[in-house]
Amino acid sequence: MKIHENISLKPFTTFGIDKKAKFFVRVGSMIELKSAFLVAKEKRIPVLILGGGSNILLTQDVEGLVIKLEIKGIQVVKEEAHHLWIEVGAGEVWHDLVLHCIDKDWAGLENLSLIPGTVGASPMQNIGAYGVELKDVFHSLQAMNRETLEVHSFDPEACQFGYRESIFKQTLKNQYVITSVTFHLSKAPEFHLEYGAIKEVLQANGIQHPSLREVSEAVIQIRQSKLPDPKEIGNAGSFFKNPTISSNQFEELRALHPTLPGYSNPEGVKVAAGWLIEQAGWKGKRIGHVGVHAKQALVLVNYGEGSGEDIKQLSQQIQTSVFDKFGIQLQPEVNFI
């Protein structure tokens, strides 16, 4: 384990912003992770954990130690006639895990294909797409306490999952490092095809009785048609959460904007942030080196020379614009550093 100094984080984040880490280290095991934290304690510097770098916006250099978490491994820990449980290292690439499960005919993750990032970040964010959320396939996780370096287990209740939320983004923020996640998967798929355009894409491809792979490929096709590849243009996927508003507010807005899409949930009605941003006139708009993607208004992009501060200011302008027009306060999914 070698600690490097003054390393650019541009290759390690999907926005492609050139900010430096004063100290940087890759860790591939629990021993290395604990050693890195001991070094940080000795130097009395803060620690930033980096997975796939797909959910952060760097607005400044990082003065502490950046730990690139690369703990790998996928193993079956329990198996029954129709179900199995797999423990996965936090450093595994999420989409690689999805493809591995499809190769093995393990069902549950196919709707979550092509979501950027690593496995360790997935429960923190309670990632979700096309009618499926991580919590639907989650069994437990292992996480190391940053202070004591002790490893604790968290079940679903302890994680306090919400919409793109968990306890690790709230009361336990920056207190633990997730090191592995255990998923509960099925050997007999129960497909979720109602959300988004999955069913339409399958029908267009002439598929009546889809396989896991065909569902995954349909999701990939939809995502690639709407979302830019971070390797080609800097972005972090969906920048804002889809807000939930009261039923009364939804009805009032629907009277003024009849095409406003909404989905009922226990808290009220979830509305599409991308629709709100588009209606506020931001879709495809460019300001200097940053802008809003032409195909998906939920995605903010860096055209190459943009700074984190540029993206941050753009996001704040969008928030103000949407609030002025609809009375809805958008919340970022992306973490600002």
Quick one: which of 112, 66, 65 has its CA closest to 93?
A: 112
DSSP lists the bridge partners of residue 299 as: 238
Amino acid identity for residue 293 in this structure? H
Catalytic residue check, 238: yes
Asked if 22 and 10 touch (Cβ cutoff 8 Å), the reply is no
Catalytic residue check, 286: no
Which of 140, 216, 238, 315 is the catalytic position? 238
C-alpha 45: how far from its chain's center? 27
Count Cα neighbours of 129 within 13 Å in the Cβ-side half-sphere. 23
Q: Which two tokens stand for residue 250?
A: 């939804």
Torsion of CA 269, 270, 275, 276, to 10 degrees: 70
Which of 164, 166, 307, 315 is the catalytic position? 164
Catalytic residue check, 5: no
SS3 per-residue string spanning 117-161: CECCHHHHHCCEECCEEHHHCEEEEEEEECCCCCEEEECHHHHCC
Catalytic residues: 164, 238, 333
